Structure 1
Amino acid sequence: MTNPQFEEVKREASEAVTQSDLRSVYTGVIHENGRHQFYFGNDTTEATELREAAAVQLGMLMRVLADRSDSSLEELSELAVERAEAMELR
């Protein structure tokens, strides 16, 4: 394993998504063979609340990626848009 902290992060994430006080959950999984899965759920039916929760989650991910990958938010945003457009979600 390249990153020794990865197992700890997986354990913490697994515990966090089972908490009872969650409003919104997004988990994206990428397998070694490139297959990807996502789980996205919100405790709301309001479009504005859904957009806000999704924007907060996306912002958190972008901030972490920018910090850890030495990339700008703009670079990551462009790449994310390209990937999202190419994905065939079921």
Structure 2
Amino acid sequence: MERNMIVRMWEVRAHSEAFPELLSWVCDHALTGVEGHPSHVESEIFSSTDHRIVIISRWHRDPLDLPEPPKHLVRSSPHIWEFTKVDR
């Protein structure tokens, strides 16, 4: 039996003046460490007007953790949720 795909949502809020730097860190550092992993399928990055960054990543199994962002860029630690598809 094949296991369900895991969808991980990772969200962090930047200090307003640090948003561009945090977004660069996410794109150039955080994701590069997981995108080559064999169980990684894809990742999408979203941003909001209140300086949040959300990554939605899809995995065949065992998602890798992203590194902790630089503390001086964020308002609080990232939040992580994992989901699997519901068949209906």
Based on CA coordinates, which of the two structures has the bigger radius of gyration? 1
TM-score (norm: length of structure 2): 0.29
Structure with the higher fraction of residues in strand conformation: 2
TM-score (norm: length of structure 1): 0.29
Structure with the higher fraction of residues in helix conformation: 1
Whose RCO is larger (CA < 8 A, sep 6+)? 2
